[in-house]
């Protein structure tokens, strides 16, 4: 079921987000496509700017504008360069709460060459919402964003 939903998300991204899309346009549409399919509590992007992550396009409640390197789930994903799945946010040391409703979270790194460029962050109001299927497909979405960056079509942002 979830695989089918993610396959639909990937198809829509291919249809709606052209290879020469502006980065902000692409990330806005990708977060909207994920939200439309799953209705997660929050989904969106944080992008590396200097020594912190800066809030990018998202769908959901207002969220923290900046997250320092190594802080919270997002900052730790940046630091480790690996996807982090959090089944219960209260058990994650240093978790940054942008909403009291969030119970579980997944954060996936986006690479530009060997460096983390940003992260995809998804929150749920349900405990243990995310598993390996989410990480596999969200990492595919992160690769699509990496390709856009590597195509240098997004250089108005870079
Ligand atoms: N919970 C995140 C902060 C971002 S919000 O979930 C949108 C974290 O700990 O990094």
CATH of the domain at 116: 3.30.450.40
Residue 158 located in a structural domain: no
Residue 156 located in a structural domain: no
Q: Is 16 in the pocket of ligand 1 (CB under 6 A)?
A: no
Residue 67 located in a structural domain: yes
Residue 22 located in a structural domain: yes
Mutate to test the pocket of ligand 1, among 66, 67, 76, 79 (most ligand atoms within 8 A of CB): 67
The reported pLDDT for the residue numbered 6 is: 98
Looking at the predicted structure, is the pLDDT value of residue 154 above 60?
no
SS (H, E, C) the chain: CHHHHHHHHHHHHHHHCCCCCCHHHHHHHHHHHHHHHHCCCEEEEEEEECCEEEEEEEEECCCCCEEECCCHHHHHHHHHCCCEEECCHHHCCCCCCCCCCCCEEEEEEEEECCEEEEEEEEEECCCCCCCHHHHHHHHHHHHHHHHHHHCCCCCCCC
Tens of pLDDT along 41-53?
999 999 999 999 9
| Residues above pLDDT 70, as percent of the chain | 96
Residue 62 located in a structural domain: yes
Q: Is 105 in the pocket of ligand 1 (CB under 6 A)?
A: yes
Residue 157 located in a structural domain: no
Mean pLDDT taken over the chain: 94
The reported pLDDT for the residue numbered 117 is: 96
| CA 148 / ligand 1 centre spacing (Å) | 24
The reported pLDDT for the residue numbered 151 is: 76
Distance from C-alpha of 54 to C-alpha of 101, rounded to nearest angstrom? 22
Cβ within 8 Å of residue 118, ≥6 positions away: 45, 46, 47, 48, 53, 56, 109, 110, 145
Number of domains in the chain: 1
Print the domain residue range for 101: 2-150
Residue 155 located in a structural domain: no
Tens of pLDDT along 80-136?
999 999 999 999 999 999 999 999 999 999 999 899 999 999 999 999 999 999 999
């Amino acid at each position: 079921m979830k695989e089918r939903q993610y396959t639909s998300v990937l198809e829509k991204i291919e249809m709606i987000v052209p290879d020469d899309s502006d980065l902000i346009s692409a990330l806005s549409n990708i977060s909207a496509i994920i939200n439309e399919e799953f209705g997660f509590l929050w989904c969106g992007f944080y992008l590396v700017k200097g020594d912190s992550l800066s809030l990018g396009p998202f769908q959901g409640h207002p969220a923290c504008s900046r997250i320092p390197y190594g802080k919270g789930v997002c900052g730790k994903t940046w630091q480790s360069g690996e996807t982090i799945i959090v089944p219960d946010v209260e058990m994650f040391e240093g978790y940054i709460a942008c909403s009291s409703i969030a119970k579980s979270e997944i954060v996936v790194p986006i690479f530009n060459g060997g460096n983390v460029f940003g992260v995809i962050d998804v929150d749920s109001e349900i405990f243990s919402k995310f598993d390996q299927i989410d990480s596999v497909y969200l990492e595919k979405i992160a690769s699509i964003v990496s390709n856009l960056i590597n195509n240098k079509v997004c250089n108005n942002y870079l």
